[in-house]
């Protein structure tokens, strides 16, 4: 549980955008603790600052935002990384969530809406529009119907939406504590989800479960 003011870091290559977001987030319970104008700067500063929330631009000249996301996630297990971008391309949304983003917000939000979204993270809300969230769930459900059978003979389509989220993080190499931080869950809840995943898939370890999901990725690529 996050206590005290929410500590936010901004990663965007445009000075004016960062200034506008900083002003939009000005509140007693939100504190902008740092800014980065490039991917390299973000990789250097973010682990030092260890913010509660990191708002990450999707398009930057020196670094692809999704690649930067993949590099930041294991470095910041306690940070909610939220994409903050002008793009509402659903492919970007799906990829961002797959690589560990805790949410996806567009830059046309009003200051009040942005503050509400950031504050919601404190109580476990998903910082994303309802429309986007529904489409992400639909995407996961559709993908599940085409999951290959894992080595143990179980059915990946039998996993719940939350279990598929956990499995995605397992495939990315995250530990239980990191997954708990990303999803806003208690560590023992993640352990329960992992145990259920292994049982449903009929596999003996996390590696086999992760390979089942990677097999799906190869089929879809």
Mean pLDDT of the chain: 82
Task: List the domain boundaries for the chain.
Answer: 6-129, 146-220
> What does the pLDDT average to over 51-68?
90
Res. 221 pLDDT band, cuts 50 70 90: very low
Model pTM score: 0.65
> What does the pLDDT average to over 4-31?
95
Is the pLDDT assigned to residue 97 strictly greater than 90?
A: no
Architecture of domain 146-220: Orthogonal Bundle (1.10)
**Phi, psi of 19, rounded to the nearest 5 degrees:** -65, -45
pLDDT at 214: 55
pLDDT at 2: 66
Is the pLDDT assigned to residue 70 strictly greater than 50?
A: yes
CB neighbour class for 110 (10 Å; exposed up to 12, middle 13-18, buried from 19): exposed
Architecture of domain 6-129: 3-Layer(aba) Sandwich (3.40)
Cβ-proximal residues to 80 (8 Å cutoff; 6+ apart), any chain: 52, 53, 54, 102, 103, 121, 127, 182, 184
Res. 43 pLDDT band, cuts 50 70 90: very high
pLDDT at 208: 72
CA atoms within 13 A on the CB side of 9: 27
**Least reliable range by pLDDT among 24-28, 63-67, 155-159:** 155-159
If DSSP codes are grouped into helix, strand and coil, which group holds residue 172? coil
Is the pLDDT assigned to residue 118 strictly greater than 60?
A: yes
- pLDDT tens digits, one per residue of 127-184: 887 777 777 766 665 655 555 544 554 556 677 778 888 888 877 778 888 888 888 8
> What does the pLDDT average to over 50-60?
93
């Amino acid at each position: 549980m996050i206590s005290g003011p929410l500590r936010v870091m901004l990663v965007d290559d445009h000075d004016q955008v960062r200034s506008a977001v900083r002003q939009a987030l000005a509140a007693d319970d939100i504190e902008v603790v740092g800014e980065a104008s490039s991917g390299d700067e973000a990789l250097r500063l973010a682990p030092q600052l260890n913010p509660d929330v990191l708002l990450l631009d999707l398009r930057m000249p020196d670094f692809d935002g999704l690649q930067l996301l993949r590099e930041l996630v294991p470095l910041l297990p306690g940070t909610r990384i939220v994409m903050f971008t002008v793009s509402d391309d659903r492919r970007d949304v799906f990829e961002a969530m797959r690589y560990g983003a805790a949410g996806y917000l567009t830059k046309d939000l009003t200051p009040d809406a942005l503050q509400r979204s950031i504050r919601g993270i404190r109580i476990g809300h998903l910082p994303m529009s309802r429309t986007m969230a529904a489409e992400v769930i639909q995407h996961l459900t559709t993908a599940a119907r085409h999951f290959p059978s894992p080595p143990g003979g179980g059915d990946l389509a039998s996993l719940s939406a939350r279990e598929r989220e956990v499995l995605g993080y397992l495939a990315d190499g995250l530990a239980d504590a990191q997954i708990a931080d990303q999803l806003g869950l208690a560590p023992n809840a993640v352990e329960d989800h992992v145990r259920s995943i292994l049982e449903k898939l009929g596999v003996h370890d996390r590696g086999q479960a992760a390979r089942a999901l990677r097999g799906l990725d190869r089929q879809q690529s």
